[in-house]
Amino acid sequence: MSPRRAKVAVIHAPSSVGVSVHRVEGVDKVTGAARYLDDLVVPGVLHGRTVRSVVPRGRIRRVTLDPAFDWKGVVVADHRDIPGENVVALIANDQPLLAVDEVRHAEEPILLVAHENPERAEAARLAVKVEIEPLEAVLTVEDALARRALVHGDDNVFKEIVIARGDLERGFSDADLVIEGEYRSGHQEQLYIENNAMLAERTRDGGLFVRGSLQCPYYVHRALERMFALPAGKVRVLQTVTGGGFGGKEEYPSMIGGHAALLAWKSGRPVKIVYDRLEDIAATTKRHPAVSRLRAGVMRDGTLTALDFDLVMDGGAYETLTAVVLSRGAIHAAGPYRWPNVRIRARGVATNTPPNGAFRGFGAPQTQFALECHMDRIAAALGMDAVELRHRNAVRIGDVTPTGQVLKESVGARQVLERVAARSKWSAARREIERANAAAEVAERSARTVNGGRRLRRGLGVSLVYHGAGFTGSGEVRLASLAAMDLDRDGHPRVRVANTEIGQGTTTMFAQLAAEALRVPAEFVRIEDPDTGSVPDSGPTVASRTCMVVGGLVAECATAMRERLELFAERPIKGANDFAHVARRYLAARGALRIERRYRRPPGIEWDDASYRGDAYGVFSYASCAIEVEVDLDTCETRVVHVQTAQDIGKAIHPVLAAGQIEGGTLQGLGWALLEELRWKEGRVWNHQLTNYIIPTSADAPPIEVEIVEIPYSHGPHGAKGVGELPMDAPAPAVVAAIAHATGVAVSEIPVTPERLRRALREAGR
C-alpha cells in the first residue's frame, strides 16, 4: 500500500536494518504456542479477587466477612498485612496499595481474597460487606477547580506548570486577529487485548518472584521493594508474553502485582490475579480528560504572533503519573509551529475518579487536538487554506520551541505536510468534495434521491503534529539506562535489556540492531527475557524511547562485541557460522564476554527542571494526516472514508512494523475522535463492557495509506526517532476538520458521537 512497503522485498544480504525480517516471536503467537499469564499452570496456585469501593469518596466504617459464608480455604488480606509501606511507589508515592480508612475513588481496592477454586474466590469476594460513609465527591475538572470539595491540598491542584517565551502582550498587539476557543477530550481506555494479569510466589530465600503482563519490570520491582521492605536482590520480576499495553501496563502492574504478592506473602502459596474485562475497564487507568482554552494572535498574511494556552487535565484521585503527563501535554501544546510569543499554563487537578495514567501519546494528543482545531479556526477566520496556514508557520531547522529549544536537526514538519497534501491531492480533492456536496443538496431539495434516500456529505481535513521521543527534560539522564550483551553457550550473541515486547515488535527491532552491527542475520541474535534477575535496568518501555534510546545502546554493545571478537580472532568475522565459531573459541579461552553501555546525554542538549527551559527532548518526530469522512446528515453518523498520512520517524528499522505502529495508532486515534466515550454513573464507569465501550472494529477501519519519511537523527540508531506514540496525535483534529468541511460546523469536543454532532448542528441552525 505505501511505497515504503513496496521497497521491503529487496533484501541486501547481510543487512537487517531497514528490512522487514520475520518477527522473533511471531510464530509462537500465531500458532498459539505463546503462553500468556493466564495460560501458566502453577501447582497449588490460588486465584485472587479484589474487593473494591462502590462509592467515589467516603470513610470506611466497617468491613465484615459474611458469617453465613464458608470461609474455609479462603485467604483474606488487607492493609494491615503489608510488611512494608502501604504505597504503590511511583513518583509522588501517594497511592496506597489497599485503602485504610478512606476511599478516594470508586473501585479503590480495600481488601483481597484468594482461593484455589476461582468460583469460590469470586463467591468470597461477594461475601465481603464494606460499609462506607459517603463524602461529597469531586467528579469533574469543573468541580475540582470550583473546589466543590477539597480532595487535594487547598486547591485540588496536583501540579501547575507555566511555560513562557517572548512577550505575549506584544504578540497580541502585533496581531490583526485574535481568536479564542475551548476544546475538550474525554477519558479513553487503552483496551489491550489481554487484561491486566499477574502471578506472585514467595521464594525459598524469603523473597518474591512476580510475573505478569507488564511494560516496565523495574517499576514493579521497585514498588515491591517498598511494599515488602525487601532488598533489591530478594525481588525478581519477569514479563510474561504480553497482549498489548498502550501505557495501560506502565504503572498499574505495580498495583495488581502488589496485590498478588501480598496474598502470596500471607498464604505462602502462588497467587494469580487475572482481571476480567469488566474489572479492567472499571478500575484501571485511562487517558487524562483535558479542557484547553486557547487565545491566538495572527496577522492577515497568516503569520502567528501569540498563543495563550490554558490547559486543565483531570488526574483522578491520586497523582501517580499526572505531573509528567501534564508536562508532556504542556510542552507539546504549541504544536510544530513558530510562535514568537507564547504562554502555556497547565494544571493537573484531583477528582474522585480512578487515577488516570499513561496512554499512548501521554498528554500530547490532548493538547495538539486543541491546537490543531484552533489552527483550523484561525484558517477559517483568515479565509486561508488549512494546509497553507500550517505550511507558513511550520517549524524549520533553527526555529525555537516554547521551552527555548532550538531545533537543530531532523525537522520534518514541512515535508510530512507537503507529502500528505500531494498524496491526498488536497486542493483538488477539497474542491471536488465541495462540488459533490452542493450537487447532493440540490438533488435532495428537488426530491430526487441519491444514496438510497440518505443525505450524505463528504469532508476532508488535515492535521500536523510532532512528538518528542524519550523521557522529557533530564528524564533520560536520571534513568541512566544500562543495556548489555553477552554470548550464550552456543556462541550466539544475546541482548540483555529490560524493555518489553508488547506487540509493537521490540524484540525483533533489538535483534535487527544487534545483527546489523555484528553482521549476522537477525534470527541469529538471542533476546533474553525481561527478567530483573538477569537483565540490567534499561528503563521502562514507554515514551517512544525503546528504539531510539535503548536500541542505540544495544547497537553500541553489538559494535563493541564485534570489535572485541575480531581483535581476539585477529581477523574480520564473516557471517553467523563464523561468529559462533569465534565466539565459542573466545568463551573457551577467555571465559564470559559481557558488554555494557549506559545512556549518555548527547552533547549540546541542556535542560533546566526549575525554569522549565531548554531541550525538552533530544529530537521530535513529525506527522501529518489528511482524513476524508462521510457524514449522514439525518443520523449524524460519521464514517471515515480514507486516511493519508506521512510520518517522519528518522529511520524505519523494520518498515512493516513501523507502518503497523502508524496504522494501529491512527485507528486508535480515530476511535478516540469518534467512538470511545467513557460513560459515568455516580462516579463509577457505567459502560465497562466491550458491548458498550465502543472501539473501532476492522469494519470501521478505513484504508490507511502510510508514507514513512526518513530524516535521520544523528543520535538515534541509524537515524531512528520515536514512532510508538506519534500516530496517536494526528487523527482526531483532522477528523474534526473533515466533519467541519462536510457540515460547516466545527465541533470542539471529542468523541464526535452522533448525539454530539446533532447538538452542534442544531446549535448552528442546521
Partner 1 sequence: MRAALSAIEVLRPRGLSHALELIASEPQPVPLAGGTDLFVALNAGAEPRTRFLDLSPLAALRGIRSSREGVTIGSLTTFREIREHAGLRHLPALVAAAAEVGGWQIQNRATLGGNIANASPAGDALPVLLAHEARVKIASVRGEREIAIDRLFTGYRQLAIERDELIVSIHVPWPTRGAVALFRKVGTRRAQSISKVVFCGVLHVAGRGMERVRLAYGSMAPVPVRARAAENALEGSALPAPQGAGSPGSPDVSESSAAAARRALSKDLAPIDDIRSDRDYRMDIAGRLIEQLLRVAAFSPRR
Write down the least CB distance from residue 70 to partner 1, Å. 14
Which is closer to partner 1, CB of 518 or CB of 636?
636
Strand partners, 647: 623, 708
Of 177 and 439, CB closest to partner 1: 439
Q: How far is the CB of 758 from partner 1 (least distance, A)?
A: 6
Q: Which amino acid is at 184?
A: R
Cα distances (Å, whole numbers) of residue 437 to 460, 633, 705: 12, 11, 24
Q: Are 42 and 270 in contact (CB under 8 A)?
A: yes
The count of other CB atoms within 10 Å of the CB of residue 563 is: 12
Task: Return the H-helix or E-strand segment holding 484.
Answer: strand 482-487
Using CA atoms, how far apart are residues 196 and 194, in angstroms rounded to an integer? Answer: 7
Minimum CB separation of residue 453 from partner 1 in Å reads: 4
Beta bridge partners of 273: 198
In this structure, what C-alpha cell is assigned to residue 51?
A: 474487593
Q: How far is the CB of 123 from partner 1 (least distance, A)?
A: 7
Q: CB of residue 634 vs partner 1: minimum separation in angstroms?
A: 4
C-beta closer to partner 1: residue 611 or 635: 635
Quick one: 462 or 643, whose CB is closer to partner 1?
A: 643
- In degrees and rounded to multiples of 5, residue 344 shows phi and psi of -120, 120
What are the grid coordinates assigned to 82, written together?
Answer: 503489608
Distances (CA, A) of 31 to 25, 28, 195: 10, 5, 20
* Cell numbers at 455, concatenated: 443525505
Residue placing its CB nearer to partner 1 in the complex, 478 or 762: 762
3-class secondary-structure state, position 406 = strand
Taking the least distance from each CB to partner 1, the nearer of 123 and 232 is 123
Q: DSSP character for 354?
A: P
Residues 6+ apart with CB under 8 A from 583: 487, 491, 492, 493, 565, 593
Closer residue to partner 1 (CB): 184 or 759? 759
Residues that bind partner 1 (CB under 8 A): 119, 122-123, 276, 278, 444-449, 452-455, 634-637, 639, 675, 679, 686-687, 689, 691-692, 694, 696-700, 753-755, 758
The number of helix segments (H) and strand segments (E) in the chain equals 21, 28
Does the N-terminal peptide bond of residue 340 adopt cis geometry, omega within 30 degrees of 0?
Answer: no
Least separation in angstroms between CB 356 and partner 1: 21
Backbone phi, psi, residue 364, to 5°: -65, -35
- By beta-carbon proximity to partner 1, the closer residue of 720 and 742 is 742
Q: How far apart are CA 212 and CA 121, in angstroms?
A: 20
Nearer to partner 1, 319 or 663 (CB): 663
Please, which residue, 348 or 696, has the CB nearer to partner 1? 696
Considering the complex, what minimum distance in angstroms separates the CB of residue 752 from partner 1?
12
Residue 321 CA to residue 286 CA, distance in Å, equals 11
Do 681 and 752 touch, CB atoms closer than 8 A? no
Q: How far is the CB of 201 from partner 1 (least distance, A)?
A: 25
- What's phi and psi for 541, nearest 5 deg? -95, 80
The Cα–Cα gap between 250 and 269 comes to: 26
- Least separation in angstroms between CB 695 and partner 1: 8
Considering the complex, state which of residue 169 and residue 634 has its C-beta at the smaller distance from partner 1: 634
Beta strands, E only, 66-207: 75-77, 102-103, 109-115, 128-134, 157-165, 177-185, 197-202
Closest distance to partner 1 from the beta carbon of 452 (Å): 6
The amino acid present at 368, given as its one-letter code, is Q
Residues 316/322, Cβ–Cβ less than 8 Å: yes
Q: Are 219 and 358 in contact (CB under 8 A)?
A: no
Q: CB 34 → partner 1: shortest distance, Å?
A: 22
**Nearest residue (CB) to partner 1, 502 versus 643:** 643
| Residue 132 Cβ vs partner 1, minimum distance, rounded to whole Å | 22
Distance CA(752)–CA(629), nearest Å, equals 12
Using the structure block, give the residue that is written with the C-alpha cell 536537526: 409
Q: What minimum distance in Å lies between the beta carbon of 120 and partner 1? A: 9
Mutual angle of helices 575-590 and 552-569, in 10-degree steps: 70
Q: Are 312 and 141 in contact (CB under 8 A)?
A: yes
Q: Beta strand pairing status for 208-212 and 304-316?
A: unpaired
We find the least distance from the C-beta atom of residue 699 to partner 1, in angstroms, to be: 4
The smaller minimum CB distance to partner 1, of residues 121 and 573, is found at 121
Q: Which is nearer to partner 1, 117 or 203 (CB)?
A: 117
- What's the closest the beta carbon of residue 171 comes to partner 1, in angstroms? 42
Grid cell of 141 as nine digits: 475538572
Residue 507 has which C-alpha cell? 524484540
- Least separation, in Å, of the C-beta of 733 and partner 1? 21
Least distance CB 52 / partner 1 (angstroms): 14
Give, in order, the Cα–Cα distances in Å from 135 to each of 58, 110, 139, 150, 352.
Answer: 5, 17, 12, 11, 10
* Residue with smaller CB distance to partner 1, 31 or 698: 698
Bridge partners, residue 597, by sequence: 483
Hey, what's the cell of 71? 470461609
Q: Give backbone dihedrals phi and psi of 741, rounded to 5 degrees, phi first.
A: -65, -35
Smaller CB separation from partner 1, 635 or 714: 635
Q: Between residues 321 and 761, which has the closer beta carbon with respect to partner 1?
A: 761
Do residues 655 and 662 lie in contact, with contact meaning Cβ atoms separated by under 8 Å? no
